[in-house]
Chain A
């Protein structure tokens, strides 16, 4: 009898005394077939997640969009950027994940996997390079390894070049090689290296359809957050500066939102034209620059797709302001400039036309009218703003850079206090003025408070903006 009790007890113990981790540990992962394919796919997913953080925060921090809801940061619109802010940390985390995942691919996953192919290697190098580019463009500096020393913005950009070279070397697809070359042009521009920027940008002129996207997957929870903020969400989360109203939204969905997540252009031909034109203008080669810019309009932008969508539910007004124009009023770029029509759309009178890759109101005749270097630069920066809207580029063009986050400083002994201050150039208006506009109470016409492209050109000698000057 006693023995039976013992057996029953032991049986109970055996049945109940083992639990198995349902998750996959690192060791188990490397024992499986072709881990590289999943890891490289993971890099693609992480690129999407990283871009979500960068795009949302950059668009908000700049004059492109303001946040009209309680979600997302409430202070980047000011702009106010403090190193204790979780949104600062989150952006840094996402860039860090992309960089470390790429590093892990290069150092661990790919070498251990005999099935890894060249394109896997190429994508890993590109990912590492792009993480460094995002860090260099958007942060005053960041460590490039776990608890490493801070590399300055310039050092990060310089470092990205060698990885881009490796990406090009391993990349079997010629068109993708060109994408990486254009990225090199972008990096050289940021570094103010006119010669190399022109060299690499020139290689792309004529590649009018070049486009490299970052893709999303709503069904797996990786939505295009910018699409959500500007179109999908029923609340009016992001509202554009009225002068850019005609470019909103860039991303939209039809049917079920999760299954229709639009990609964001990471690299596109337009940038080569803009870099080349900017470099030529700076060299006072106005005529050549004008030709490039006109080609940009006629050969590239006019051939980019457009779509017509019903955006009648866009009510614009939310928590922050309730006087956003909802009908087709006229706008002025600032109070010194004339009122212009067609910049603000009436979204209730039928479908609206949208530009899914690039759009602009700059015309070839505007370009023809350029006579001075500053006029040229003004139009180039307007074009950059309009072409790159919703792609997370504008805050870098304004010279705004994020600090190293408090969490990094607390865990990493290499972070001195000088890296914990954001860079907001002194010509950037504060107190929400970047996004501010005045509404004429009689006509409803709009005057934008600051034409930031004029401000940029006026401050072209600043070390923080217009890198060729």
Chain B
């Protein structure tokens, strides 16, 4: 089988290469006459007379000229593909002092006198304004001359200025989401250009999933594109928060309100039981650290919880984001793309000249108290804090392909916890450059530096004093307080407030992230239709995580005199990733067929290096372990190396039927010895039915497309787990050796096979856009950590490809524009996604937990016949009096995966005023509130458990009816409500525009559960570390509310 695939691959490669080779076969007589009498010339330093001869062959027209004219001996270079004869002659006119006239089958050549030629070489400046369909300025639209490859970008007012040779007759305007417009130039040098909305955005060009640029209509899958203008409107603190309302078919939930909290991102369910469902992130083609998981080495303030590496991706210099959600769309990304790909493209400059904008966001953050059980908890743990963010953006460029952009940001968020225990300070700089090197090479680069530092409060898993556990879970009883916080006398309240205040003050948990990312790319276009692109870059992220526990803190929180137990625990986690990618793309057309051939290779190498250094018995006040009586350290290293080659052929027929074929082969040292190259094939079809001749143009349907595909994508096993090892440690001053991991020579990536079909339809002048699709994704070689057989002598679980996981569902999204007048536009968007997740086969291994505590308390578990990460705990049954009669241990208490979710959004424009709101919802999932369970145990509440049971057994059965503390977690959360106003001053000499905004983040929550369904300990260190579905709410902070004003000046 493997040999066959290799042969097919080679044949495929040969086809593409022969295609490319043919184009370059005859360097001297370098032409191919293809079709429609269009001219193809790829000539370098050829005599003009020879050029004429070649054109004659392709055009069936003969040049008429005086044979001793000196220009005939001049050598010229020309590079055109599929150009009309007229266009080719214009190009030659620009090179030589001659003019042409076409008469029937002859081309008359005339020498121009010096003064006339001079005027031909003169340039003219065209100015203009580009507006969208609502007459709003089209900011950042491309205005360019195609044949000369020069262009500019419109500014904040939609204005542009471009200087071009007077011979140029045509300008092209493109703008994301709008139809490409060709403007024929006359004598008028001031243009007003209005763009039309693109039908279904199918002509939009995307890169993600394709290696190089391809228009959406040629693809058999959805690619979500988010424009800069959409990103800039919402003042979000992190990119996943921002994307949560922008991606119609993905669900993004932040699992807590603390800075650095991880998010659960799932698009097509959970296809892995060992790896988080976070997609891979690229910035300008370079893979980013997306270690959305717990650190392998414990300790530090992230102890027991994961810290997100997505939280520190800068957001202020982004041009657009593309997202594909797995399946065939991600096949070209190979072995670890089963969860989808998010690709971020940064800005690389703007229109001619120099633009600057400064902005500030300021406001107040307040705690979300909706889910607090005791009103007094707010008084004990929370306060309102200030939020400030400042941005400086500079950009510019010129007509010759040079561009630059710079963005610098400073954020200071004091957070909502007393003593600023969750304050966040972030500083980031990003730059982007583009430049043309000669005629054929374009260079682009970006540099990003981020410093993100934040405080972390102790989370529920850390043991000892935890603010929320102490208050909301009733644990204050243990320290002798009345734990019914709302029944406290003023004196009792004062006493507990003093205690909590000091406990919070004495905490010292700090995380500091430094991140540097760069992407460098060279694009080489030796002739029209062919592009070779090399992209290389690195992402280097260092996370320093420090927890200081002083004797004073321990004395206070344990209420005993603690001496000599002060400690500092540091964990440094360094991620270093290199990405190298070479991509060749060739586009060509013959007759009714068009071909886009892509061949590429990618190499990435990720290194995760963790170092823990800890000092115990340390004096209070010390900030380093230098003075510790005992110092211990530990180290963890993991390196992933993956190399892949991909080939893709996209075939179009009459620009309405497209076939998309591709395969990627990956090799990786983390595969077992018995495992060779892993292949990921795909096949897809896209049919634009509305482009068929029989399709009536008068229909209310503007465009109609059917698409379907089949493809594979993978998830990589971690590095080195395939090998059988001996582990070492120290013990009583000697070295010890013992069994490490058992190893697995058959270890390979888990592969998710997806088939999908869908329809995209655009109605009523594109005011209704509807997209629906069904997918079935099956992960057959799912990697499960198989617990060791006790008699084997191994104590470490080993990964085996034994599981099978299925996800299937519908993805539906609609955009509606019910109102569209000159001044007013109302746009609505809604998405509906269904999901059915099932562990079809667990390969006979015992159910295992991916999250939670011990098997007798509460866990989220993977078990055959159930959804991944269902809640398992003790199920209690009660008699008619309400007394517990039986307990069934380890019972199914509900799934943590919703069966319905989506986004709702509204956008209302009135002249320069914009109102927007958006929300997320989910239905069908459950979660357990361990806070409630503790509250019952500690006698802090009387609800939930029948009084008769309390009278009979007290709280001794607290763990025997966990079902009582498990609730449905349906929710509708309004994420953002905002208002924006653009003020355009009459005198634009100094300030071109001012943008004023008011935004409320997380204003409203409607939930079926009494607790926050999102505030779950997804990153808990318990369980397997990676895969996480949430489901247990315990001592976790909810995301705070933010009331923010913004002011932006464009100069």
Contacts and interface: CB of A to CB of B under 8 A. Distances in A.
Given A16-B580, A94-B795, A74 B787 contact: no
Given A86-B855, A256-B616, A410-B846, 6 more contacts: A13-B580, A19-B640, A45-B738, A94-B795, A407-B788, A411-B789
B791 A148 contact: yes
Interface stretch (A165-173, A213-221, A390-398): A213-221
Closest 5 CB pairs of A and B: A100-B793, A313-B560, A38-B737, A411-B789, A92-B790
Contacts of A288: none
Interface in A208-235: 215, 217, 219-222, 234-235
B724 interface: yes
B732 A217 contact: yes
B536 A38 contact: no
Interface string B21-50: 000000000000000000000000000000
Nearest to B640: A19
Interface string A379-411: 000000000000000000000000001111011
A84 B855 CA distance: 9
A29 interface: yes
A319 to B, nearest CB: 6
A240 to B, nearest CB: 19
Nearest to A232: B565
A46 interface: yes
B1033 to A, nearest CB: 16
A96 B603 contact: no
Contacts of A72: 854
B725 A45 contact: no
Interface stretch (A54-62, A139-147, A197-205, A370-378): A139-147
Given A24-B728, A142-B791, A258-B630, A73 B854 contact: yes
Nearest to A102: B793
A461 interface: no
Nearest to B856: A74
A97 B795 contact: yes
Interface residues of B, number: 69
Interface string A167-202: 000000000000000000000000000000000000
A16 B855 CA distance: 43
Contacts of B793: 96-97, 99-101, 103-104, 146
A217 B630 CA distance: 13
Contacts of B737: 29, 35, 38-39, 41-42
Given A29-B726, A42-B737, A410-B845, A89 B669 contact: no
Interface string A68-109: 001111110000001011110100111111011101100000
Given A143-B791, A234-B558, A25 B728 contact: no
A38 B727 CA distance: 10
Given A41-B735, A256-B630, A313-B560, A74 B728 contact: no
Nearest to B580: A12
Given A19-B719, A222-B731, A412-B791, A70 B853 contact: yes
Contacts of A426: none
B787 A407 contact: yes
B790 A45 contact: no
Contacts of B725: 21, 23-26
Contacts of B724: 25-26
A257 interface: yes
Interface in A259-315: 259, 312-313
B641 A17 contact: yes
Contacts of B740: 23-24
A29 B845 CA distance: 31
Nearest to B578: A16
29 contacts: A9-B582, A22-B639, A23-B725, A24-B726, A24-B728, A26-B726, A29-B726, A38-B735, A41-B731, A41-B737, A42-B738, A45-B731, A46-B738, A82-B889, A89-B790, A93-B788, A97-B794, A97-B795, A101-B738, A145-B791, A146-B793, A234-B558, A234-B560, A256-B616, A257-B565, A313-B560, A405-B790, A407-B787, A410-B845
Interface string B883-894: 000000110000
A110 to B, nearest CB: 13
Contact of B726 (A13, A25, A222, A410): A25
A26 B580 CA distance: 34
A256 B789 contact: no
Contact of A38 (B464, B578, B736): B736
Interface of A: 9, 12-13, 16-26, 28-29, 35, 37-39, 41-42, 44-46, 70-75, 82, 84-87, 89, 92-97, 99-101, 103-104, 142-148, 215, 217, 219-222, 234-235, 255-259, 312-313, 318-321, 405-408, 410-412, 432
B792 A146 contact: yes
A38 B853 contact: no
Contacts of B559: 313
A241 B418 CA distance: 42
B952 interface: no
Contacts of A87: 854-855
A259 B632 CA distance: 11
A145 B791 CA distance: 6
Interface in B700-733: 719-720, 723-732
A19 B605 contact: yes
Given A12-B536, A86-B855, A220-B729, A93 B795 contact: yes
Nearest to B855: A86
Which of the listed residues B560, B791, B937 has the most CB atoms from chain A within 10 Å of its own CB? Answer: B791
B739 A16 contact: no
Contacts of B857: 70, 74
A333 B640 CA distance: 63
Contacts of A24: 725-728, 740
A52 to B, nearest CB: 12
Contacts of A221: 729
A267 B857 CA distance: 36
B959 A25 contact: no
B976 to A, nearest CB: 39
Contacts of A41: 731-732, 734-737
B602 to A, nearest CB: 11
B739 A410 contact: no
A86 B852 CA distance: 14
A95 B637 CA distance: 29
B617 interface: yes
Nearest to A322: B477
B736 A42 contact: yes
B846 A407 contact: yes
Contacts of A85: 855-856
Contact of A23 (B578, B723, B729, B844): B723
A256 B736 contact: no
A86 B534 CA distance: 52
Nearest to B738: A42
Given A85-B855, A96-B791, A405-B790, A16 B845 contact: no
A408 B794 contact: no
Nearest to B536: A12
Contacts of A101: 738-739, 793
Interface string B837-852: 0000000111000000
Given A75-B856, A220-B730, A256 B629 contact: yes
Contacts of A320: 956
A143 B617 CA distance: 45
A375 B564 CA distance: 49
Contacts of A84: 846, 855, 889-890
Interface in B502-555: 534, 536, 554
A74 B959 contact: yes
Interface string B629-657: 11010000101110100000000000000
A96 B790 contact: yes
B641 A234 contact: no
A160 to B, nearest CB: 16
Contacts of B639: 19-20, 22
A455 B871 CA distance: 41
Given A17-B643, A256-B617, A313 B731 contact: no
